[in-house]
Amino acid sequence: MKIVVGLGNFGDEYAYTFHNMGFLAVDCLSDRLSIRLKTKECASLTGVGSYRGEKLVLCKPLTYMNLSGQAVKELMARYKAASTDVIVLFDDIDLPRGAIRVRANGSGGTHNGMRNVVAVCGTEAIPRVRIGIGRPPEHMPLADYVLGEVPRAEREELAAAIEKACDEVEKLLQAK
């Protein structure tokens, strides 16, 4: 049993923003693995399928980004999964745009959604795949940057990063 959670914000206005890289990555995995996200449970939109014979739940929390831990904790309880059976995907301003970093555990860093996941679940032992979005331009407020639409000229680069992030998730699923 594995659970893959993408952090993001619901709503058309957030569909292709820097802060929605986790949602976009789960959508990519959904397409790759033919797992439709169609069920509302545990404060999330989920899809259940399998990967190499093991049950796999893909998830997009329906909570506000900064309250994502509630959804993760509910999913872990519902599916009787350990924190190490969860993989969280999210954007990271501390990584250069397009860079991917995989960690088996650690703090939530500067990402409020991941910080909430760690706090609510009570453990740093949650594997994660971080998708670099880089820092905002000088004098631009962080919230405006992460919630702003990704410029069309930059979407191809970020789409490639999302594909790489999904590759890393598949490696983690194979390793477990």
Number of residues that make up the chain: 176
111 classed as catalytic: no
Cα 7 to Cα 65: distance, rounded to the nearest angstrom: 7
- Name the helix (H) or strand (E) containing 78: helix 68-78
Catalytic pick among 3, 5, 7, 19: 19
> CA distances (Å), 123 to each of 71, 82, 151, in order?
15, 10, 36
Q: Which residues are catalytic?
A: 19
